[in-house]
A and B are shown apart, each in its own frame.
Chain A
Amino acid sequence: MKIVQTRRISQAFFFTLFLWLCIVSTIGDKLWQLRNWPVNWFLQLDPLTAIGTILTTHTLYRTLAWALVTIVLTIIFGRFFCSWVCPFGSLHHFVGFLAHRKKTNAQKIKLNKYRKAQRIKYFVLVFVLAMAAFPSLAATLQTGLLDPIPLVTRSFNLVLVPIFDRAANVTSATPRFYEGAWLIFTIFLTAILLNIVFPRFYCRFICPLGALFGILGRFAIWRIGKTQSKCSNCMLCEKSCEGGCEPAQSIRIAECVLCFNCRQDCEDEVICYQSRGSLAGEITDPDISRRGFVLSVVSGVFAVGAVRFGNKLGGNWSHKVIRPPGALAEEEFLKRCIKCGQCMRICPTNVIQPGGFQGGLENLWTPVLNNRIGSSGCQLNCVACSEICPTSAIRPISLPEKLGTDEFADTGPIKIGTAFVDRNRCLAWAMDKPCIVCQENCPVSPKAIYTQEVFNTIRDGLLKVKKVSGNIVETIENNLKQDSFSTGDYFCAIKGERYKIIANSENSIETSAEEKFKEKLVAGDKIEIQIRLQKPYIDISKCIGCGVCEHECPVSGKKAIRISAEGETRSPDRKLLLKS
């Protein structure tokens, strides 16, 4: 049995597993639903996530300890992850193979030469780790932007799976929407298409995780190399070299992804995975100069400053950045969020969306609630996002903690924002139209939205009496719209008393027969048509910011009641009320 075949089986297995875990990230207990599938396993195995969060938080969150397995195996065996496990790598591998399979051997050998630009990935790595490493300058975790595991997780979870599932709806009850998915897709597609230029373009030139493995594998005990310094020099070993590591000459260990194609292709059978170094010589260190290293660190440090210049953590924070319940205080949150999109995937209502630039560059693809998307705000009895978050940027909370019941009765519910009524847009406030949809839908108990009843005289609602018979008033005006006042919300005000209108014709108004007019009406008396309105108010001490009201508000363009992040529990400095 050939090792290359084994590698293909391994790639197929891990890719299928990855895809499967993407599919099962759906709340439920069916075999193809969440159950206890280890849906975060790839993210947990990713040492870049572990090292990045260690640099920002100085702790290793328990589940991220899986990364130690990858690190130890890499130290012993080299960059095996890229060619044996990484789902993104396997995808590149396959696409690269398809794109170049018809080329001649000579062309392929040329294609797979080492290129100076392969050092770029080390600069990317040093750059993002430098951003994470300087706490005095405000550390920020941006590894997730280019780290292949969060990148591929995000791309599958938020774009590819929902596209394929559009018709069947296996992974969600209704079709999913993700704002800004086009950008995620564009980056994914670009990375895939670049394989047409060079096979494994992303892995060779960009991937910071590959770079990390290259560094970790420096002392690998076993490595690819030649068993003799001399061979027929046919160069066929470089024909399918995935890493571009030049095994025919002095092999570049940091670039070798252990695809074993060289061993397969060597007709002299001089290439072997062995404990002694290649007899043709080897270059163990990554091709990164001291100057390049320093430059990357300095750029990273300056970049943190530049990113934070918007003062988005200070006075210029964005009220539109509404984080899921359980999210840590913003600064701590940004130290942990790897933008993997798991919370957006699991959210049963689809309300958690990949963030854009509203909270600055750091906000990109972090979870932000958008109540205009999804089936219904943030569900009261759901803590799915906090349970799935692989790095505890959204820390695990229990339902009692979220709702402020049981042992959390003292601390009260977790607020993620506060609803504000836009009185210029609200039907009841601005348009004299009865509507209490927000109040009806408020899930908090007692309701955070309450109403106050007012009666407003409608436009052209001042009428003159022509004749009265029982509860029917005939008016001099004869341009009323037939039965337009019979909805139950209209009243007829007669000398300080109000009577509910039950019907009207063009020139008459009929009120409920149960109530006789208290004052006698004669021809020429004035009456008013009034509408009863229930104007919504927010009790900000009760509102938790779940967004159900915003979702339901019938003013559909710019909602007349909107959630703003003020008052969120995680930011005491931004609270609205001294005491709730």
Chain B
Amino acid sequence: MTKRTQSKIDRRRFLSRSAKAAASIAAAGIVAATLYDKEGPRTGIGSDELVTLRDFSVEHRPGKIMSVVKGPDRTGAVNQALDLLGGIERFVSQGDTVAIKPNVAFASSAMLGATSNPELVAEVVRLCYARGKAKKVFVLDNPINDPASCFRWSGIGKAVSQVGGKVILPRESMFRHTSLEGGKLIRNWPIFSEPLEKVDKLIGIAVVKDHQHSRASMTMKNWYGLLGGRRNIFHQDINTIIAELAMLVKPTLVILDGIQTMITNGPTGGSLSDLKQTNTLIASCDMVAADSYGCGLLGLKPSDLPYLGKAENAGVGTTDYESLKPMLAI
């Protein structure tokens, strides 16, 4: 190798290296400029982006807002109640993904009535598939006791999977923070939102239960099961949180099961003597109306439950369910 070629090679290497160095410097500069944060973190509180829950409700049909069916047969009653409102086809369209939120709060037997009835939940799942032509039906809740045990002992897990529904057990990563606009309590609070982000419809299935704290647990209180975090702090202001939940969640439909009502020792019960046969099942697009009717099964008036008034004032629905001219089938 001559001295000349050597110096030529050196020169080429030098230039290529310089180019690479310049490119690295430019890259570092661009990264720094892009990510430069002059302000720094503004609040000390977690900076998660807030999510908002979708509005799952369907087209309003006057006169077909709420139906009440009397009788002891749950599956029959729910079919009849839905048909009165226009059938499940009105609520679930072909190819929809549906989320069903039953009350699975406790790991207790279905017999005790502290949780939604598994046959009823399964029947709704079945209807979604068979008549609503749903693509997929999820069943979800964030129970108070261990989730897997709750779905198992309540019988809901098994009943749902037999008809092709899929149970979603809550995991921490599925919760996102949300704030209710104009809300006092639901501010930057984790909510079981991830599964709801990928569904088209949301159906709530609740039981009529006595509740020590709020006096009655029905369809509105059922949404408590979407809250994450240390939600029991809200027990310091139970009426406001129930009303705010009703403002936050806009379901397609709610089903209130009052075939049996837990009239004492709620919300857990524990004895069959806590239950009373009340032979009523309600399907409704208006949660407030459904709960206003349902509280009668506990011997309460809507005015006994402050959260109903709060929700009504917020425009969620009406406590004057008679005005909706509910369709009755006895």
A–B proximity contact (CB within 8 A): yes
Q: How large is the interface on B (under 10, 10 to 19, 20 to 34, 35 or more residues)?
A: 35 or more
| Cβ–Cβ contact B185 & A578, under 8 A | yes
**Which of B30-38, B103-111, B207-215, B303-311 interfaces with chain A?**
B30-38
| Cβ–Cβ contact A275 & B14, under 8 A | yes
- The 30 listed contacts between A and B (C-beta, < 8 Å) are A57-B37, A59-B35, A62-B37, A68-B32, A72-B25, A75-B28, A218-B20, A219-B18, A219-B20, A219-B24, A220-B17, A221-B17, A221-B21, A276-B14, A277-B13, A328-B41, A328-B44, A328-B45, A329-B44, A329-B45, A331-B46, A332-B46, A332-B47, A396-B40, A570-B44, A572-B45, A572-B188, A574-B230, A578-B233, A579-B184
| Cβ–Cβ contact A575 & B36, under 8 A | no
Residues 321-339 (chain A) with a chain B CB within 8 angstroms = 326-329, 331-332
| Cβ–Cβ contact A220 & B21, under 8 A | yes
User: When each residue 57-72 of chain A gets 1 if its CB lies under 8 Å from chain B and 0 otherwise, what string results?
Assistant: 1111110010010011
User: When each residue 544-580 of chain A gets 1 if its CB lies under 8 Å from chain B and 0 otherwise, what string results?
Assistant: 0000000000000000000000000111111111110
Does B49 reach chain A (CB closer than 8 Å)?
Answer: no
Does A470 reach chain B (CB closer than 8 Å)?
Answer: no
A80 smallest CB distance to B (angstroms): 14
Residues 48-94 (chain A) with a chain B CB within 8 angstroms = 54, 57-62, 65, 68, 71-72, 75-76
Residue of B nearest to A389 (CB): B40
Bound complex: CA of A57 vs CA of B37, how far in Å? 10
Residue of B nearest to A327 (CB): B44
Residues 6-32 (chain B) with a chain A CB within 8 angstroms = 10-11, 13-14, 17-18, 20-21, 24-25, 28-29, 31-32
Does B237 reach chain A (CB closer than 8 Å)?
Answer: yes
Does B323 reach chain A (CB closer than 8 Å)?
Answer: no
Residue of A nearest to B234 (CB): A578
Does A423 reach chain B (CB closer than 8 Å)?
Answer: no
User: When each residue 157-192 of chain B gets 1 if its CB lies under 8 Å from chain A and 0 otherwise, what string results?
Assistant: 000000000000000100000000000110111100
Does B86 reach chain A (CB closer than 8 Å)?
Answer: no
Does A142 reach chain B (CB closer than 8 Å)?
Answer: no
Q: With A65-B32, A71-B28, A329-B45 given, is the CB distance from A221 to B14 under 8 Å?
A: yes
Does B229 reach chain A (CB closer than 8 Å)?
Answer: yes
Chain A residue total in the interface (Cβ 8 A): 43
Measured between beta carbons, the chain A residues less than 8 angstroms from B184 are 579
Does A314 reach chain B (CB closer than 8 Å)?
Answer: yes
B241 smallest CB distance to A (angstroms): 9
Task: List the interface of chain A (C-beta within 8 A of B).
Answer: 54, 57-62, 65, 68, 71-72, 75-76, 216, 218-221, 275-277, 314, 326-329, 331-332, 392, 395-396, 414, 569-579
Contact of B44 among A54, A57, A276, A326 (CB under 8 A): A326
| Cβ–Cβ contact A72 & B44, under 8 A | no
Q: With A59-B37, A221-B14, A578-B236 given, is the CB distance from A75 to B31 under 8 Å?
A: no
A109 smallest CB distance to B (angstroms): 29
Residues 26-69 (chain B) with a chain A CB within 8 angstroms = 28-29, 31-32, 35-42, 44-47
| Cβ–Cβ contact B41 & A76, under 8 A | no
| Cβ–Cβ contact A60 & B40, under 8 A | no
| Cβ–Cβ contact A60 & B44, under 8 A | no
Bound complex: CA of A57 vs CA of B35, how far in Å? 10
Measured between beta carbons, the chain B residues less than 8 angstroms from A575 are 233
Measured between beta carbons, the chain A residues less than 8 angstroms from B18 are 219, 221
A407 smallest CB distance to B (angstroms): 14
A578 smallest CB distance to B (angstroms): 4
Interface centre among B28, B29, B233 (most CB of A within 10 A): B28
- Identify the 7 closest CB pairs spanning chains A and B, nearest first: A59-B37, A570-B44, A276-B10, A219-B21, A329-B46, A219-B20, A392-B40
| Cβ–Cβ contact B32 & A61, under 8 A | no
| Cβ–Cβ contact B44 & A395, under 8 A | yes
Measured between beta carbons, the chain A residues less than 8 angstroms from B46 are 329, 331-332
Bound complex: CA of A76 vs CA of B25, how far in Å? 9
Bound complex: CA of A60 vs CA of B30, how far in Å? 12
| Cβ–Cβ contact A60 & B36, under 8 A | yes
Q: With A68-B28, A331-B46, A573-B190 given, is the CB distance from A61 to B37 under 8 Å?
A: yes
Residue of B nearest to A578 (CB): B236
Interface centre among B25, B31, B44, B236 (most CB of A within 10 A): B44
Measured between beta carbons, the chain A residues less than 8 angstroms from B187 are 572
Contact of A277 among B10, B20, B25, B47 (CB under 8 A): B10
Measured between beta carbons, the chain A residues less than 8 angstroms from B188 are 572
Contact of A60 among B35, B189, B233, B234 (CB under 8 A): B35
Bound complex: CA of A275 vs CA of B190, how far in Å? 58
| Cβ–Cβ contact B44 & A75, under 8 A | no
Bound complex: CA of A575 vs CA of B32, how far in Å? 37
| Cβ–Cβ contact B230 & A392, under 8 A | no
4 further A-B contacts with Cβ under 8 Å, apart from A60-B35, A328-B45, A573-B229, are A54-B31, A276-B13, A392-B41, A571-B45
Bound complex: CA of A62 vs CA of B21, how far in Å? 24
Residue of B nearest to A394 (CB): B44
Bound complex: CA of A65 vs CA of B188, how far in Å? 32
Measured between beta carbons, the chain B residues less than 8 angstroms from A60 are 31-32, 35-37
Measured between beta carbons, the chain A residues less than 8 angstroms from B28 are 68, 71-72, 75
| Cβ–Cβ contact B230 & A75, under 8 A | no
Measured between beta carbons, the chain B residues less than 8 angstroms from A65 are 32, 36
Contact of A570 among B21, B24, B45, B185 (CB under 8 A): B45
| Cβ–Cβ contact A58 & B190, under 8 A | no
B2 smallest CB distance to A (angstroms): 14
Bound complex: CA of A60 vs CA of B188, how far in Å? 25
Residue of A nearest to B36 (CB): A60
Bound complex: CA of A216 vs CA of B172, how far in Å? 39
Residue of B nearest to A569 (CB): B44
Q: With A75-B25, A328-B41, A332-B46 given, is the CB distance from A219 to B35 under 8 Å?
A: no
Q: With A75-B21, A219-B21, A392-B40 given, is the CB distance from A577 to B190 under 8 Å?
A: no
| Cβ–Cβ contact B172 & A314, under 8 A | yes
